Amino acid sequence: TQLLEQSPQFLSIQEGENLTVYCNSSSVFSSLQWYRQEPGEGPVLLVTVVTGGEVKKLKRLTFQFGDARKDSSLHITAAQPGDTGLYLCAGPKSFQKLVFGTGTRLLVSP
């Protein structure tokens, strides 16, 4: 069974701080996705990483795929209240299906 474990589960920080969220598995994934879910909404795709060691940047967000394609991280620089939400990693399971991580709930206070 493919499982994706995320850490930490909860993170409460002040505006301007940096943070890193981790997504780990014992299984190899061909790619990993990161979604953000804002309160009262469905998840929205942020990025897909497909190559081991790949780094992708989306403004203040930096995503990295592990060399062995078993893990990924999301680093946010100078967090803002608008970054508040639930961050989910997800990997392909079979036939268009995804397995989702347990999620990291981030709260950024002004």
Q: Establish if 66 lies at the interface with another protein (CB under 8 A).
A: no
Of 11, 21, 34, 43, the one binding another protein (CB under 8 A) is 43
Determine the size of the site formed for another protein (CB under 8 A): 21
| Smallest gap from residue 79 Cβ to another protein (A) | 22
Pairing of strands 61-65, 71-76: antiparallel
Of 2, 48, 73, 84, the one binding another protein (CB under 8 A) is 48
64 in Cβ contact with 42 (< 8 Å): no
Pairing of strands 61-65, 55-58: antiparallel
